[in-house]
Amino acid sequence: MTDVEVDFGETGLVPAIAQDAESGEVLMLASVSPEALERTRETGLAHYYSRSREELWQKGGSSGHVQHVAEVRVDCDADALLYLVEQEGGACHTGHRSCFYRTVDGDHVGERVFDPEAVYE
């Protein structure tokens, strides 16, 4: 079988959803560059591209809350990715398990699993 060619378009980035491989919970959304996808496939650990810092980064590189990638899926247009992951600790830098921990009404619906001040000193 041949690899699917991901369409990174003019920006050189595609969105990637990280989803818990077991529970199906959506953990986060981030950007992926060709290099980030290559590193993810090589190492089995989730890599992304930070648009604000303009650099490649491994999820959990500073916090230790890594994502072990069980599978990478591509959508029908080949311009978005789905990382099915086993999350160690929390996925969100705010200390929550998922970045989607609140509703648009401001209600908190997710659990905080670590203290970000203790992790990101």
Q: Strand 14-20's sheet: what is its strand order?
A: 55-58, 47-50, 26-32, 14-20, 81-87, 67-74
The single-letter code of the amino acid at 39 is: R
Binding-site residue positions for Mg(2+): 75, 77, 79
Dist CA 37 CA 84 (whole Å): 13
Annotated binding site for Zn(2+): 76, 92, 99
**Which segments are annotated as binding site?**
75-77, 79, 92, 99
Report the half-sphere exposure of 63 (CA within 13 A, side-chain side).
25
- 65-78 burial, b if ≥16 CB within 10 A, otherwise e? bbbbbeebebeeee
